[in-house]
Amino acid sequence: MGRNVRWSIINVVVILYALIPVVWIASLSFKDPSSITDGSFIPNKWTWSNYSGIFKNDDFVRGLINSIGIGVISTVIAILIGMMAAYAVARLEFPGKNLVLGVSLLISMFPQISLVTPLFQIERSLGLFDTWLGLIIPYITFALPLTIFTLSNFFREIPWDLEKAAKMDGATSAQAFRMVIAPLATPGVVTTAILAFIVCWNDFLFSISLTSTTRARTAPATISFFTGSSQFEDPTGSIAAAAVVITIPIVLFVLFFQRRIVSGLTSGAVKG
């Protein structure tokens, strides 16, 4: 058996591992209500009705809007303040630098459930319970460690001497930043923003614990409330379609930014 054939088989096994569960949920979402319980892997009767159904469901649309809004706002804020800290960590010498990294590390491993009980009570007394801000605050906190680590690793790789060179060639500080440093830093910032957004987009625990209505409830939590509601006699198709819809952004990110996401996720691990 040639090397090519052997690697082809191995590749196919890995690809099947990753894709079969995803294809299954997609297949379920295309099944006609009459055939949804037939248990076949590929739909026997195809339909779009599950998709048109969930987009007519105000709760789900609202959940999507909440997810996108809360996710984007949290990501932007986490990137802004994370970028400042990452720049300091990568470029400056100051006492307390390791403390910042240490705290970030602790938080990245922090059990979220330990925050849920006190936050539930604190947010209720501050009027933040069941609001966008009430979710944005914990999301920023849990996106920050990843932002600081990933960005500081990207920043370390930027050839900062180019800034000096540009200034010597007569560029002002602003020009040097805009024309030399910003273009070099942008890919790292975009990658980090994607990773931070995935963290927020994925959350379920905070969203079901710190909301009580559709006002701020994000899409993953909304889906878990589909069960047994009067609008859906059998929620299977709707849940499957909604699961596919919230997976689409992830698939797009991965398709367009695979190389960057891999380098972002692995850059920190190398130093061990």
Nearer to another protein, 180 or 241 (CB): 241
Quick check: 107 and 145 in contact, CB under 8 A? yes
Closest approach of another protein to the CB of residue 170, in Å: 24
* Positive/negative CA dihedral, 16, 45, 244, 255: positive
| Minimum gap (Å) between residue 66 Cβ and another protein | 14
Nearer to another protein, 11 or 173 (CB): 11
Report helix angle 236-267 to 182-202, nearest 10: 140
Q: Rounded to the nearest whole angstrom, what is the least distance from the CB of residue 97 to another protein in the complex?
A: 7
Report, in Å, the least distance between residue 213 CB and another protein.
14
Q: Give the separation between CA 196 and CA 201, rounded to whole angstroms.
A: 9
Rounded to 5°, angle at Cα 243 from 240 and 249: 145
Task: Look up residue 171 and give its DSSP letter.
Answer: -
DSSP state of 96: T
Give min distance, CB of 198 to another protein, in A.
Answer: 6
> Closer CB to another protein, residue 89 or residue 176?
89
The amino acid present at 216, given as its one-letter code, is A
Place of tokens 């009767």: 45
Tell me the Ramachandran region of residue 203: left when phi exceeds 0, alpha when psi lies from -120 to 50, beta otherwise: beta
| Nearest-approach distance from CB 17 to another protein, in angstroms | 8
Tokens of 268: 């920190």
Comparing CB distances to another protein, the nearer of 11 and 52 is: 11
Would you say 117 or 170 has its CB closer to another protein?
117
Q: For residue 69, give both structure tokens.
A: 């809004």
Question: Please, is 3 exposed, middle or buried when counting C-beta atoms within 10 Å of its C-beta (0-12, 13-18, 19+)?
Answer: exposed
Closer Cβ to another protein, 87 or 177, answer by number: 87
Q: For another protein, which is the closer residue by CB, 56 or 259?
A: 259
Are the C-beta atoms of 128 and 134 separated by less than 8 Å?
Answer: yes
Write down the least CB distance from residue 230 to another protein, Å.
20
